[in-house]
Copies of this chain bind each other. A is one copy, B any other.
Amino acid sequence: MKYTITLSCLLLVFSFGSAQNSMLGFSEKSASEQQAIEKAFEEKLNSSNIDNWMQKMAAEPHWVGTKFGEENAKWMQDQFKSWGYDAKIETYHILFPYPTERVLELTGPTPYKAKLTAVPVEGDPFTDQGDALLPSYNAFSTDGDVEGELVFVNYGIPKDYEELEKLGISVKGKIVIAKYQGSWRGIKPKLAAENGAIGCIIYSDPQDDGYGRGDVYPKGAFKNKTGVQRGSVMDMPTYPGDVLTPGYGATKDAKRLTKEEAPTITKIPVLPISYEDAQPLLEALDGPVAPESWRGGLPITYHIGPGKAKVHLKLKFDWKLVPAHNVIATMKGTEFPDQWVVRGNHHDAWVHGANDPVSGMVALMEEARAVGELAKKGQKPKRTLVYCAWDAEEPGLIGSTEWVEDHKKELQEKVVAYINTDGNGRGFLGVGGSHSLQAMVSEVAGAVKDPQTKVSVKERRIARNMVNGGDDSFELYALGSGSDYTPFIQHAGIASLNIGFGGENEGGEYHTIYDTYPHYKRFKDPEFAYGVALANTAGRITLRLANADIIPLDFTQWHKTVSGYLDEIMEETSKMRSSVEKHNKLIDRNAFSLALDPRENIKAPERKEPVPYLDFSPLQNVIGELKASIDTYNKLDLSSLPKAKKDKLNAMLMDAEHKLLSKKGLPRRPWFKHQIYAPGFYTGYGVKTLPGVREAIEQKNWSEAREQIKALSETLSNFNEHLKEIISTLK
């Protein structure tokens, strides 16, 4: 019995038909059994369940705290039970704001009162549910009643404020209007407030998310002029989850912060609007014409302001504790009941949420049903499976975060991996996650057929990468934030994955009243074939993790990736240095001043602080040491380990990802403990890899960069020590 652990071995194995049964973490015999299980599992998947359940769960709006949301949770609990799971509902009590007053008006020069309401459309009765639809707003905006001059700030991200600085425009005491996109929405009010603004409006520009992308709903899938993207603006890069209970579960009797103390509620009021409502506001602006890259798709000349255009923004919310119902369905493992594979998707939506989250939720359910059927026939998983349906993901990953915080110790002891899904559609497989899982995911992706082309989903994905100029390889992307994997990986250090299909399911329904079953059926995954493909992919991964003889982690790929991140940071630092040198050379030549149009009131840029040389050697050294350890580990013969050693090995493998946490967490946001992946402090969802070091450098905080190089080296050294312990245990 020979276990294949390294990627290079895998590649070799893939080349020979004779070694078909090779499967990472499985003996040849176990691999045969597992293939049979997966085949049986796949055959049980049924697209009409996915279709029917979507119609049921997306029939009414079901944001956290709604009756329909609770009904969905109970119904799912019953379903899980009927499939043989031990299913319960775990409820947390979380702060959730409901909008009671929303006023946005242009008070001058030409008055305009924003409608703030999307229109029902023909052929989609779900859009005609009137007051049952949640009014469009940004959750965790603070209450406010402000009036001021309007300033257009493009996407409202850091480089936009640098541009405003050049133009000599301040947003202090002003209300900003920013386009959606360019960052996670919550960054916009955060930066606006940091820059002194008193209010923030976010709108969907038709170029990014409307007729500029394709025909609008109901003719096509894209956002019509009245559609508004709801969404949370909680400061999740600081910490996600209930704003009143940072770091611990929002149980009934938990000690809570007051709302006023909660650091993750915005400092200024913020409201999302449609492009129909945005146009009169933008049209009223004077001041300089916006830079070319700032201009959107409205038929106007985009100006920045400030000036005559004044707006009044008034927002009031009903802040109350609402119950968030997580459904937790467990199937005990036959061999390793205390080793859990956790699989989750959220069930709450902003409105009907046919795509987000129901398309992923019902695929998870179909997966769980098929697994349950196998179990009923005796093919039970060796490790415990925990299927979860999270509530309150939309307002800030709250259901999952509270559960992880509440059960953190137990989860860190028991969970092998967490596998997340969310909205899903037609197209290409995309998987993000811990890179020690990449080799296993790649094997599974090679075994799942694409419903449209009949090649493997891996091959189709690679084909697309190559057409887009990429490599002939299947890789996991690094996880930032934006769905329920965040508390698992970034707070608890549990190896995690996020899986979905997409790329042929475009649309503008995200977080609007148009994310309905008719829209999904027409534009996302008409035959629910990709719902089945998702259940197939995630289910096989879940079952492999559950049944593997040895937990299928591969550190060769992990090392290559992390080492690549370091190279990237060092290269970026060099580029930054050359760029500053070049910039200062131009200052010496007076070139910026001479190149400016004297009639435009633009400030020539100033001399920049030179970028120092940083000592990256501690990281380079530990990366080298890790390579040596991993090479040694890869050479070990794991094929004939006695059970005790195998158990010990598995326990230590389960512990590996935890070693990538630091106790202190990241600067200014200690909740985020993972040292390899984090959402960016100024990007929101977008990942920053090796975040402590990378963000310090990006922010030109050189002393912090030096500290973080030290901290990261220590974390990686701990990880290396752990690997060395594994090796010495096995020898």
Contact = CB atoms under 8 A, between A and B. Distances in A.
Given A297-B297, A301-B220, A586-B467, A215 B289 contact: yes
Interface string A396-436: 00000000000000000000000000000001000000000
B591 A212 contact: no
A1 interface: no
Given A452-B598, A453-B598, A590 B297 contact: no
A75 interface: no
Give the most central of A222, A504, A594: most B CB within 10 Å. Answer: A594
Contacts of A472: 589
Given A459-B594, A594-B459, A594-B460, A466 B214 contact: no
Contacts of A220: 289, 301
B301 A463 contact: no
Contacts of A504: 597, 599
Given A464-B594, A589-B466, A591-B467, A206 B299 contact: yes
A466 B591 contact: yes
B212 A295 contact: yes
Interface in A450-466: 452-453, 455, 459-460, 462-464, 466
A491 B617 CA distance: 64
A215 B286 CA distance: 10
- Identical copies of this chain, number: 2
Given A215-B289, A289-B214, A299 B301 contact: no
Contacts of A597: 427, 504
B297 A589 contact: no
Contacts of A593: 453, 463
A212 B296 CA distance: 8
Contact of A297 (B216, B299, B460): B299
A300 interface: yes
A590 B463 contact: yes
A562 interface: no
Given A214-B289, A220-B301, A463 B599 contact: no
Given A299-B297, A599-B504, A467 B214 contact: no
A455 B594 contact: yes
A594 B468 CA distance: 12
A605 to B, nearest CB: 10
Contacts of A466: 586, 589, 591, 595
A211 interface: yes
27 contacts: A206-B299, A212-B301, A213-B301, A214-B289, A214-B301, A220-B289, A220-B301, A297-B297, A297-B299, A298-B299, A299-B299, A453-B594, A460-B594, A460-B595, A463-B589, A463-B592, A463-B595, A464-B594, A466-B586, A466-B589, A466-B591, A466-B595, A467-B586, A467-B591, A467-B592, A504-B597, A504-B599
Given A212-B301, A214-B289, A299-B299, 9 more contacts: A211-B300, A216-B301, A220-B301, A222-B301, A298-B299, A453-B593, A463-B590, A467-B586, A467-B592
